[in-house]
Amino acid sequence: MTPLRVIGLVDGFNLYHSLQDDPGHKWLDLGKLLKGLLHCYPVPAQVVDIHYFTALPFYLRQTNPGRLSRHQIYLRALSARRNPSITTHFGEIRQRQLEIAIPGGKTWTKVWREKGTDVALAVTLFELAAADAFDAAIIVSGDSDYAPLAKGFQRMHPGKDLRFAFPHGRLSNELLRSIPSSIVLGPQHYQASRLPDEIILPSGKKLHCPAEWKAT
Protein backbone atom coordinates (compact mmCIF):
# COMPACT_ATOMS: atom_id res chain seq x y z
CA MET A 1 0.00 0.00 0.00
CA THR A 2 1.30 3.44 -0.91
CA PRO A 3 1.61 5.50 2.29
CA LEU A 4 -0.66 8.49 2.81
CA ARG A 5 1.25 11.64 1.83
CA VAL A 6 1.11 14.08 4.73
CA ILE A 7 2.27 17.70 4.79
CA GLY A 8 2.74 19.93 7.82
CA LEU A 9 2.04 23.66 7.88
CA VAL A 10 3.38 25.27 11.04
CA ASP A 11 2.18 28.65 12.32
CA GLY A 12 5.47 29.60 13.94
CA PHE A 13 4.15 32.39 16.16
CA ASN A 14 1.22 30.41 17.53
CA LEU A 15 3.56 27.51 18.29
CA TYR A 16 6.30 29.77 19.73
CA HIS A 17 3.98 31.43 22.23
CA SER A 18 2.85 28.02 23.48
CA LEU A 19 6.48 27.33 24.45
CA GLN A 20 7.09 30.46 26.52
CA ASP A 21 6.73 28.69 29.88
CA ASP A 22 9.46 26.19 29.04
CA PRO A 23 12.27 27.57 26.84
CA GLY A 24 13.78 24.08 26.72
CA HIS A 25 11.03 23.10 24.31
CA LYS A 26 11.89 25.82 21.78
CA TRP A 27 14.70 23.73 20.26
CA LEU A 28 12.01 21.77 18.47
CA ASP A 29 12.43 19.32 15.61
CA LEU A 30 9.33 19.93 13.49
CA GLY A 31 9.93 16.75 11.51
CA LYS A 32 9.96 14.61 14.64
CA LEU A 33 6.91 16.43 15.98
CA LEU A 34 4.84 15.75 12.86
CA LYS A 35 6.07 12.19 12.40
CA GLY A 36 4.97 11.54 15.97
CA LEU A 37 1.39 12.38 14.99
CA LEU A 38 1.07 9.95 12.10
CA HIS A 39 -0.54 7.32 14.33
CA CYS A 40 -3.75 9.37 14.09
CA TYR A 41 -4.30 8.01 10.58
CA PRO A 42 -5.89 4.57 10.11
CA VAL A 43 -3.49 3.71 7.25
CA PRO A 44 0.32 3.92 6.82
CA ALA A 45 1.42 7.54 6.38
CA GLN A 46 4.60 9.54 5.84
CA VAL A 47 5.46 13.22 6.14
CA VAL A 48 6.50 14.39 2.67
CA ASP A 49 6.80 18.14 3.17
CA ILE A 50 6.87 20.74 5.95
CA HIS A 51 6.23 24.48 5.62
CA TYR A 52 7.18 26.77 8.50
CA PHE A 53 5.73 30.30 8.65
CA THR A 54 7.51 32.92 10.72
CA ALA A 55 9.00 36.43 10.76
CA LEU A 56 12.32 37.65 12.10
CA PRO A 57 12.09 40.27 14.92
CA PHE A 58 14.61 42.70 13.49
CA TYR A 59 13.15 45.46 15.69
CA LEU A 60 14.91 43.74 18.63
CA ARG A 61 18.42 44.35 17.23
CA GLN A 62 19.15 46.99 19.85
CA THR A 63 16.90 46.04 22.77
CA ASN A 64 17.07 42.23 22.74
CA PRO A 65 19.65 41.01 20.23
CA GLY A 66 19.86 37.62 21.93
CA ARG A 67 16.27 36.80 21.04
CA LEU A 68 16.86 37.70 17.39
CA SER A 69 20.08 35.67 17.33
CA ARG A 70 18.38 32.59 18.81
CA HIS A 71 15.63 32.83 16.21
CA GLN A 72 18.22 32.98 13.41
CA ILE A 73 20.14 30.02 14.85
CA TYR A 74 16.92 28.02 15.01
CA LEU A 75 16.11 28.77 11.37
CA ARG A 76 19.60 27.60 10.36
CA ALA A 77 19.03 24.41 12.34
CA LEU A 78 15.72 23.77 10.57
CA SER A 79 17.31 24.40 7.17
CA ALA A 80 19.73 21.54 7.82
CA ARG A 81 16.98 18.98 8.44
CA ARG A 82 16.17 16.43 5.77
CA ASN A 83 13.62 13.68 5.15
CA PRO A 84 11.57 15.75 4.90
CA SER A 85 13.16 19.12 4.30
CA ILE A 86 11.57 22.23 5.80
CA THR A 87 10.62 25.27 3.73
CA THR A 88 10.52 28.55 5.68
CA HIS A 89 8.10 31.31 4.65
CA PHE A 90 8.79 34.79 6.01
CA GLY A 91 6.16 37.32 6.96
CA GLU A 92 6.76 40.73 8.51
CA ILE A 93 6.59 42.25 11.98
CA ARG A 94 5.13 45.73 11.78
CA GLN A 95 4.76 48.52 14.28
CA ARG A 96 1.33 49.70 15.32
CA GLN A 97 0.30 52.64 17.50
CA LEU A 98 -2.29 51.94 20.19
CA GLU A 99 -4.19 54.61 22.10
CA ILE A 100 -4.56 53.77 25.79
CA ALA A 101 -6.90 55.54 28.20
CA ILE A 102 -5.26 56.46 31.51
CA PRO A 103 -6.50 58.52 34.46
CA GLY A 104 -6.43 62.16 33.39
CA GLY A 105 -6.09 61.55 29.66
CA LYS A 106 -4.78 59.26 26.97
CA THR A 107 -1.41 58.03 25.86
CA TRP A 108 0.00 56.17 22.90
CA THR A 109 2.15 53.09 22.92
CA LYS A 110 3.94 51.15 20.20
CA VAL A 111 3.33 47.44 19.70
CA TRP A 112 4.79 45.06 17.16
CA ARG A 113 2.55 42.57 15.40
CA GLU A 114 3.36 39.74 13.02
CA LYS A 115 1.57 40.10 9.69
CA GLY A 116 1.02 37.73 6.82
CA THR A 117 1.37 34.27 8.37
CA ASP A 118 -2.28 33.21 8.14
CA VAL A 119 -2.68 34.36 4.53
CA ALA A 120 0.62 32.79 3.43
CA LEU A 121 -0.30 29.51 5.11
CA ALA A 122 -3.73 29.44 3.48
CA VAL A 123 -2.31 30.21 0.03
CA THR A 124 0.32 27.49 0.39
CA LEU A 125 -2.27 24.93 1.49
CA PHE A 126 -4.54 25.60 -1.49
CA GLU A 127 -1.65 25.76 -3.97
CA LEU A 128 -0.35 22.38 -2.85
CA ALA A 129 -3.84 20.90 -2.90
CA ALA A 130 -4.38 22.15 -6.46
CA ALA A 131 -1.10 20.46 -7.45
CA ASP A 132 -2.22 17.24 -5.70
CA ALA A 133 0.99 17.34 -3.66
CA PHE A 134 -0.53 15.65 -0.60
CA ASP A 135 -3.34 13.44 0.67
CA ALA A 136 -3.54 14.85 4.18
CA ALA A 137 -2.44 18.08 5.89
CA ILE A 138 -1.77 18.98 9.51
CA ILE A 139 -1.84 22.66 10.48
CA VAL A 140 0.06 23.28 13.71
CA SER A 141 -1.87 26.19 15.18
CA GLY A 142 -4.71 27.00 17.53
CA ASP A 143 -5.60 30.30 15.88
CA SER A 144 -9.37 30.43 15.40
CA ASP A 145 -8.84 32.75 12.40
CA TYR A 146 -8.25 29.55 10.42
CA ALA A 147 -11.88 28.46 10.82
CA PRO A 148 -12.97 29.86 7.40
CA LEU A 149 -9.95 28.17 5.81
CA ALA A 150 -10.98 24.82 7.31
CA LYS A 151 -14.55 25.09 6.07
CA GLY A 152 -13.51 26.26 2.60
CA PHE A 153 -10.89 23.54 2.25
CA GLN A 154 -13.34 20.81 3.21
CA ARG A 155 -15.83 22.07 0.63
CA MET A 156 -13.28 22.30 -2.18
CA HIS A 157 -11.21 19.20 -1.40
CA PRO A 158 -13.48 16.63 0.25
CA GLY A 159 -11.10 13.82 -0.73
CA LYS A 160 -8.19 15.26 1.27
CA ASP A 161 -7.85 15.01 5.03
CA LEU A 162 -7.26 18.21 7.03
CA ARG A 163 -6.76 18.45 10.75
CA PHE A 164 -5.16 20.80 13.26
CA ALA A 165 -2.51 20.06 15.87
CA PHE A 166 -3.19 22.53 18.66
CA PRO A 167 -0.03 23.73 20.45
CA HIS A 168 -0.06 23.16 24.21
CA GLY A 169 -2.51 25.57 25.85
CA ARG A 170 -3.77 26.85 22.48
CA LEU A 171 -6.78 24.64 21.83
CA SER A 172 -9.48 26.37 19.77
CA ASN A 173 -13.01 25.08 20.37
CA GLU A 174 -14.12 26.71 17.14
CA LEU A 175 -11.53 24.81 15.11
CA LEU A 176 -12.25 21.61 17.03
CA ARG A 177 -15.94 21.88 16.15
CA SER A 178 -14.98 22.28 12.49
CA ILE A 179 -12.52 19.37 12.55
CA PRO A 180 -13.18 17.01 15.49
CA SER A 181 -10.28 14.76 14.42
CA SER A 182 -7.78 17.46 15.39
CA ILE A 183 -4.95 16.71 17.82
CA VAL A 184 -4.03 18.39 21.11
CA LEU A 185 -0.27 18.69 21.68
CA GLY A 186 1.19 18.44 25.14
CA PRO A 187 4.62 18.85 26.75
CA GLN A 188 5.28 15.15 26.06
CA HIS A 189 5.13 15.82 22.31
CA TYR A 190 7.70 18.60 22.64
CA GLN A 191 9.99 16.55 24.88
CA ALA A 192 10.03 13.71 22.36
CA SER A 193 10.82 16.10 19.49
CA ARG A 194 13.97 17.97 20.49
CA LEU A 195 16.65 18.73 17.94
CA PRO A 196 20.13 17.37 18.72
CA ASP A 197 22.12 19.79 20.87
CA GLU A 198 24.76 19.79 18.10
CA ILE A 199 23.82 19.95 14.42
CA ILE A 200 26.25 19.66 11.53
CA LEU A 201 25.31 22.00 8.69
CA PRO A 202 25.77 21.03 5.00
CA SER A 203 28.89 23.23 5.01
CA GLY A 204 30.39 21.07 7.74
CA LYS A 205 30.09 23.77 10.38
CA LYS A 206 28.57 22.87 13.73
CA LEU A 207 25.53 24.58 15.18
CA HIS A 208 24.72 24.36 18.88
CA CYS A 209 21.50 24.75 20.82
CA PRO A 210 21.41 28.18 22.50
CA ALA A 211 22.23 27.95 26.19
CA GLU A 212 18.84 29.50 27.07
CA TRP A 213 17.08 26.60 25.36
CA LYS A 214 19.03 23.73 26.85
CA ALA A 215 16.89 20.92 28.22
CA THR A 216 16.59 20.98 32.00
Q: Give 56-101 pLDDT, tens digit per residue.
A: 766 566 677 778 899 899 999 998 888 888 999 987 755 554 455 6
Question: How many Å apart are CA 126 and CA 208, to the nearest integer?
Answer: 36
pTM of the model as a whole: 0.87
Q: What is the pLDDT of residues 169-215, one digit of tens each?
A: 999 999 999 999 999 999 999 999 999 999 998 888 999 999 999 87
CATH number at residue 104: 3.40.50.1010
In 3D space, the residue among 78, 83, 76, 84 whose CA is nearest the CA of residue 205 turns out to be 76
Q: What is the pLDDT of residues 139-153, one digit of tens each?
A: 999 999 999 999 999
β-strands 206-208, 198-200 pairing: antiparallel
Q: Do 214 and 84 contact (CB within 8 A), yes or no?
A: no
Q: How many domains does the chain have?
A: 1
Host domain of residue 56:
4-213
